[in-house]
Chains A and B, each alone.
Chain A
């Protein structure tokens, strides 16, 4: 295959990626957009096997078939065996952490590619190539280790609260300075050892960078790391002389940056505050303060009676609903209420679940009609005319602390104003605070009734009690 044909096919793949992002921005074309992107990526991967790209160092003689072809195909097979089942089998509730993990391994791959190319080039590397290599190693490693931490937080394998340690900001600043210093050392000394030290320090920096981020802000960080990985791919494209990688990486870097900003806006957060807020905010008192305070808890019968005489009910689903796999039961309850002539709507917070749009995906899975899902800005003015707001496994997205308590981790986030409803019912497993780890004053409100237990079994009992009325 000639270089011209190879580059033309690369250009076609680049166009496919642009069309993919464009398609993914609109609900109607989203699925097709994703398929176009997959087609472009598959095409780009396929043609590499039919073109012997000359080594940048000129040392390795490349000819078809590719050197190490068996190894390459074997490694791709291993990747498929791990990646496809993981993507197919994952519960939709755990999807955000899988995306974080996929992003992390992408960053790791980019860093490894840069390291290998650097070893291969040796002393013949130009300064520009080394600078781009250093950039890829730093950012790729940060993206890798940072994504692993976001995975651990979302999977709740570690605390979801901001992790703040004494003199944390000095440790982080010192690590960043040494990363940059060692980067300069690599550029001037051209050694393998400095490069490995650089990789290790960058991995450490990624961990330190993400640890102070609170659970509710994790999606924004994933999106940012995603943009980072895109830029590393673009930088690898420069070193490897591949226009396709430059286009694809830059597209992801640019669109990822915009997306990060849009997400931060949807959550009412500033990007700067998300990343550095942990340094300025005082650590929340995690325990001790939560003294025993009276709450009003009710039975499923109490809830059913309240619902039976309501004219308008708003359901506020949260991540707890998804964890309990109660999407289908809540739909049953909604259908029952509608058959009794009650006006029912779902109030969907932009970040209900673990990521923007996550709850829409989960409810769509349960075939909840799309027109019953009402976005936050539209539902908020209607709470004053709402008789009952049922909050199912949600906490942070209705927590008034976001409006009233400056300095708390979710301060400034727009919330669903369920406190304006005449009655509030909370379905909760326990008094444990939400993902962001903040106490919710609404639970102690006199018009709030709590129904403790697993969301699914509680809802099943409410449904049968309501049927009996």
Chain B
């Protein structure tokens, strides 16, 4: 892909990332960190792509390990964040 397009996407994403979390009460720091943590579990997509492209058993083995780790990161992350937030329901004044 065009390097300039990638740079634009990157820079704009940085600004969006800064903007969306600039005002957060400390109560939500832990769930927000946990949720962001789950989002980077989307590296699972990359792990599946490299597993598809693997030609040697070494490559396949390493990419399968990556899939296992990424799945734990993504699914576990969203589940534990949901459990944390479940505690807050109906607690607001």
Contacts and interface: CB of A to CB of B under 8 A. Distances in A.
Interface of A: 13, 17-18, 20-22, 24-28, 30-31, 33-35, 37-38, 40-41, 44-45, 48-49, 52-53, 55, 57, 59-60, 62, 66-68, 71-72, 74-76, 78-80, 82-84, 86-88, 90, 92, 95-96, 98-99, 102-103, 105-106, 108-110, 112-113, 115-117, 119-120, 128, 219, 222-223, 226, 229-230, 232-234, 236-238, 240-259, 262-263, 266, 350-351, 355-358, 360-361, 364-365, 369-371, 375
A72 B48 contact: yes
Given A31-B88, A254-B14, A262-B24, A37 B29 contact: no
A232 B40 CA distance: 9
Which of A79, A259, A371 counts the most chain B CB atoms within 10 A? A79
Nearest to A234: B10
15 contacts: A27-B28, A28-B92, A30-B85, A41-B38, A75-B68, A83-B76, A86-B72, A106-B70, A108-B69, A119-B62, A255-B20, A258-B17, A262-B21, A356-B30, A369-B91
Contacts of A119: 56, 58-59, 62
**Is the contact region of chain A dominated by helix, strand, or loop, or is it mixed?**
helix
A186 B67 CA distance: 25
A113 B32 contact: no
Contacts of A35: 82
A24 B28 contact: yes
Contacts of B82: 31, 34-35, 38
Contact of B9 (A102, A128, A246, A253): A246
A309 to B, nearest CB: 30
Contacts of A233: 40, 42-43, 46
Nearest to A249: B40
Contacts of A355: 29-30, 33
Interface of B: 1, 3, 6, 9-10, 13-18, 20-56, 58-60, 62-89, 91-93
Given A112-B65, A119-B58, A244 B45 contact: yes
Nearest to B63: A116
**Is the contact region of chain B dominated by helix, strand, or loop, or is it mixed?**
helix
A229 B35 CA distance: 13
Given A106-B41, A109-B69, A259 B6 contact: no
Contact of A66 (B22, B43, B52, B84): B52
B79 A248 contact: no
A357 B52 contact: no
Contacts of B80: 87, 90, 95, 98-99, 102
A21 B30 CA distance: 13
6 A-B pairs with the lowest CB-CB distances in the bound complex, closest first:
A79-B71, A254-B17, A83-B76, A250-B13, A356-B29, A106-B73
Given A53-B49, A116-B50, A364 B38 contact: no
Contacts of A128: 3
Contacts of A232: 43
Given A83-B71, A120-B54, A24 B47 contact: no
